């Protein structure tokens, strides 16, 4: 076998027993190709005895050349954050409709993954965000985000007030329902719903998108990924910071959320012929007539 992927980690959607069949079949396919197969701990709990070594995600990151994620974009987001420091290539297999990140159909995964093992694939680097919450001049929370870091109003429903700085320079002071700092990957998630731009994933930028601002003049801004964004809370009103809708932290007055580019990237592998614009047309229904 002529492939640079000698060890492959298999990771399935959490608490989804239906992935057992496809994942085990994929493991058999890889083993026949002479690949060493590893299964992560949570996946193993869903699929039962597989005969493959079972490791924690961090251990898979240390040992695997490639990780194949079976699930959806949410699963890929979770796995990518954990494996980002290890420079493991990622492939996404979607159980249902093709996703923005998991673009291989489960019906064609053997053919497509076989081609990838043969060296026929397209590589795409995706950036992540590193965010921290500073309270009373102490870092009280830090996390990675693949899509976005979001500050939103709390359960009271009142607008929150905050100042946004870029590299220490004042951008604007807002009263709004919240604020989004999005990667190019996250530009098609919450940021898109809030009126932000679609950003090609090859670009090294961050999108700053106000959520329902009190004034129409507060517009989305696209900045370099080398910048540092600071969101300083003036009036929290039960504000909360969310990161990929996965991690969260309740904010208080005078807390600051600092967002910058994470030093490592995610390396996604796509089938040859992968067309980002074609995927956009399909996912966003741009080809439909009304």
Tell me the CATH number at 156.
Answer: 2.60.200.30
Q: How many domains does the chain have?
A: 2
Same domain as 277, residue 241: no
Same domain as 167, residue 256: yes
Q: Does any domain span residue 109?
A: yes
Same domain as 148, residue 98: no
Same domain as 240, residue 151: yes
Average pLDDT on 90-111 reads 87
Specify the pLDDT at position 3.
66
Using H for helix, E for strand and C for coil, what is the string for 206-265?
Answer: EEEEEECCCCCCCCCEEEECCCCEEEEEEECCCCEEEECCCEEEECCCCCEEEEEEEEEE
For the cut 90, the answer to whether the pLDDT of residue 286 exceeds it is no
Q: Does any domain span residue 181?
A: yes
Specify the pLDDT at position 47.
85
Q: What is the number of other CB atoms lying within 10 angstroms of the CB of residue 230?
A: 20
pLDDT digits (tens, 9 = 90+) for 236-261: 888 999 999 889 999 999 999 999 99
For the cut 80, the answer to whether the pLDDT of residue 156 exceeds it is no
For the cut 80, the answer to whether the pLDDT of residue 288 exceeds it is no
Same domain as 147, residue 32: no
Q: What percent of the chain has pLDDT over 90?
A: 78
Of the candidates 37, 45, 53, 36, the residue with the CA atom closest to the CA atom of residue 16: 45
Q: What percent of the chain has pLDDT over 70?
A: 97
Same domain as 166, residue 86: no
Same domain as 137, residue 242: yes
Of the candidates 219, 232, 209, the residue with the CA atom closest to the CA atom of residue 161: 232
Same domain as 11, residue 83: yes
Which residues lie closer than 8 Å to 52 by C-beta, 6 or more apart? 10, 27, 37, 38, 39
When the pLDDT of each residue in the chain is averaged and rounded to a whole number, the result is: 93
Specify the pLDDT at position 1.
45
Domain that holds residue 177: 129-262
Q: Does any domain span residue 82?
A: yes
Q: Does any domain span residue 256?
A: yes
Same domain as 108, residue 169: no
Average pLDDT on 132-144 reads 97
Average pLDDT on 41-53 reads 89
Average pLDDT on 63-82 reads 94
Q: Does any domain span residue 36?
A: yes
Q: Does any domain span residue 289?
A: no
Same domain as 276, residue 256: no
Is residue 40 part of the annotated active site? The answer reads no
Q: Does any domain span residue 1?
A: no
Q: Does any domain span residue 198?
A: yes
**Of 40, 73, 148, 255, which is the active-site residue?**
73
């Amino acid at each position: 076998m002529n492939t640079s992927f000698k060890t492959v980690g298999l990771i399935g959607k959490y608490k989804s027993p239906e992935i057992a069949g496809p994942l085990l079949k994929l493991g058999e396919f890889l083993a026949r190709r002479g690949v060493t197969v590893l299964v992560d701990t949570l996946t193993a709990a869903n699929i039962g005895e597989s005969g493959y070594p079972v490791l924690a995600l961090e251990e898979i990151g240390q040992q695997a050349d490639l990780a194949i994620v079976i699930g959806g974009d949410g699963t890929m987001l979770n796995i990518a954050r954990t494996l980002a420091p290890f420079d493991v290539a990622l492939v996404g297999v979607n159980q249902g409709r093709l996703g923005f990140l998991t673009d291989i159909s489960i019906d064609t995964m053997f053919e497509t993954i076989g081609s990838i093992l043969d060296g026929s694939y397209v590589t795409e680097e995706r950036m992540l965000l590193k965010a921290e919450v500073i309270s009373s001049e102490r870092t009280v929370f830090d996390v990675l985000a693949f899509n976005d870091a979001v500050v939103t109003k709390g359960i009271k429903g009142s607008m929150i007030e905050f100042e946004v700085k870029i590299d220490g320079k004042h951008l604007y002071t807002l009263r709004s329902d919240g604020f989004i700092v999005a990667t190019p990957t996250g530009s098609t998630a919450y940021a898109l719903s809030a009126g932000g731009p679609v950003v090609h994933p090859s670009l090294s930028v961050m999108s700053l998108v106000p959520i329902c601002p009190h004034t129409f003049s507060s517009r989305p801004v696209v900045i370099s990924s080398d910048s540092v964004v600071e969101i300083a809370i003036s009036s929290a009103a039960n504000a909360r910071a969310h990161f990929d809708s996965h991690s969260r932290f309740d904010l208080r007055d005078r807390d600051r959320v600092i967002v910058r580019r994470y030093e490592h990237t995610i390396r996604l592998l796509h089938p040859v012929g992968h067309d980002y614009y074609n995927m956009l047309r399909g996912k966003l229904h741009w080809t439909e007539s009304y």
